[in-house]
Amino acid sequence: MTDALSRPNADPTRMHSVTPETTAIIDMVLDYARRRLLDTATPLDKPMPPAELRRLASGSISEDGLGGRRALALFENVLAPACLTIDHPGYLSFIPSAPTKAASAFDLIVSATAVYGGSWMEGSGAVFAENEVLAFLAREFGLPESAGGVVVQGGTIGNLSALVAARDHAARRLADRGAARPDRWVVIASREAHSSIASAARVMDVDVVTVAVDETGALHGDQVRPALEQYGDAVIAVVATGGSTNFGIVDDIASITALNDEFDVWLHVDGAYGLAAALAPSARHRFAGIDRADSLIVDPHKWLFTPFDACVLLYRDPAIARAAHTQHAEYLDTLNDRAEWNPSDYSIQLTRRPRGLPLWFSLAAFGAAAYRDAIEDSLSLAQRIADEIRRRPELRLVRDPQLSVVVFEREGWDVSDYAAWSDRLLDEQRAFVVPSSHAGRPNTRFAIVSPRTSFELLVGILDTMR
């Protein structure tokens, strides 16, 4: 191994000092970021075969380095074009992301200011700003003023953290009653629940009891009741979905929360994609009962126009989460002995970036009304394109859209037809629309999030299916 200090002219402060070299690198990076953020014609781009990336980009890490200019050129000209542009208006698969320009720009500041977001002691200003966002969303969802939480990495971490808090709460209640813990803890969820619920259960080593949904794909309290009666104290939580990924279906949250009048059980709402629609007056009624949730998540990097990655996790009673998640160690005593709000106390993550700041800045800059308008636009566009699909004899709408996901079939197509069509759309840089399926039948779907996605763009995609 080479001893850096034994090399002639070695300078261990080189990378951290303000020098002509680092100044030039910063100028280049900021210039590229500015050009990318303000470019109105950034292509959709597409993945590159591994062999081609190896040919063009292998060997970028060396003992002496490429230099900032060559490294940035490699990213701009080779690596970035091999990544799909997630905020492109033609990105319509999975659940897209469409951050505001202000939020993306402010994400640079989050890194540039070297702010740590795990504790009040180290980042009180950032924590305060994030808590402003959390309080705003809690009010929108009807939670009490005492509600609170944290912004975590994504929906999987959010769901896992909420269920860990629910299990800890259930265990403490049994202990208070002098009752024994069950052999296996149970989470009740619908068959349409996001895959992260099953993933969280595997991590926690608990069982998931899946409950059938009705013909619309929604979970109702009547379907949940038998499972609660069967598993009793073993149930740590019932998970309702506030907008499923595949169809955008919202469970009947009100009928599920009404069960708490008989069963004292934790209700968690996974609203990673869809719960943002509660900000829109036209869709707010779909989330009746959300005000009784014990915990919920919504991902700002989906429909709240924030850069990856961010998931808002809210608790009705944050003290329960704090009891479950606060980490204890001698070096943490100085934090735990204070009554201040430490975000790391409310999820499984100790070290955290203040990833809620871009949303705070964009909300503060544009106001909540602008967010409502943008979400309403997506809802309206979904209905318009669903009507257009109904008018086309070669197409069949699989289900009326509740939110902004539109699922449809092309009559006579099999899986290979959808795959070839999808590949062609991407090769032509028209759109990214991948095949999907439901009940054993192939289909495809538009997941509409970006306000830059137009009716004309979607109609043009449908025209390619004739």
Task: Name which of 30, 115, 161 is nearest 361 in CA terms.
Answer: 115
- What is the C-alpha separation between 240 and 250, in angstroms, rounded? 8
User: Packing angle between helix 101-112 and helix 357-366, nearest 10 degrees?
Assistant: 130
How would you classify residue 183: left for phi > 0, otherwise alpha for psi between -120 and 50, otherwise beta?
A: alpha
Sign of CA dihedral 11, 17, 19, 21: positive
Q: Which letter, b or e, does each residue of 217-234 get, where b requires 16 or more Cβ atoms within 10 Å of its Cβ?
A: bbbbbebbbebbeebebb
Provide the residue type at 338 as one letter: R
pLDDT tens for each residue of the chain, 466 residues long: 455 556 778 899 999 999 999 999 999 999 999 999 999 999 999 999 999 999 999 999 999 999 999 999 999 999 999 999 999 999 999 999 999 999 999 999 999 999 999 999 999 999 999 999 999 999 999 999 999 999 999 999 999 999 999 999 999 999 999 999 999 999 999 999 999 999 999 999 999 999 999 999 999 999 999 999 999 999 999 999 999 999 999 999 999 999 999 999 999 999 999 999 999 999 999 999 999 999 999 999 999 999 999 999 999 999 999 999 998 776 666 777 676 899 999 999 999 999 999 999 999 999 999 999 999 999 999 999 999 999 999 999 999 999 999 999 999 999 999 999 999 999 999 999 999 999 999 999 999 999 999 999 999 999 999 9
Task: Judge whether 298 and 312 are in contact, CB under 8 Å.
Answer: yes
Cβ–Cβ contacts within 10 Å for residue 441, how many?
12
CA-based R_g, the chain, Å: 24
* Long-range CB contacts (within 8 A, 24+) of 70-76: 72/25, 72/28, 72/29, 72/32, 76/32
The domains of the chain, with CATH numbers, are 115-366 (3.40.640.10), 368-463 (3.90.1150.10)
pTM: 0.96
**Which residues partner with 230 through β-bridges?**
none
In sequence order, which residues have a C-beta less than 8 Å from that of residue 41 and are 6 or more positions away? none
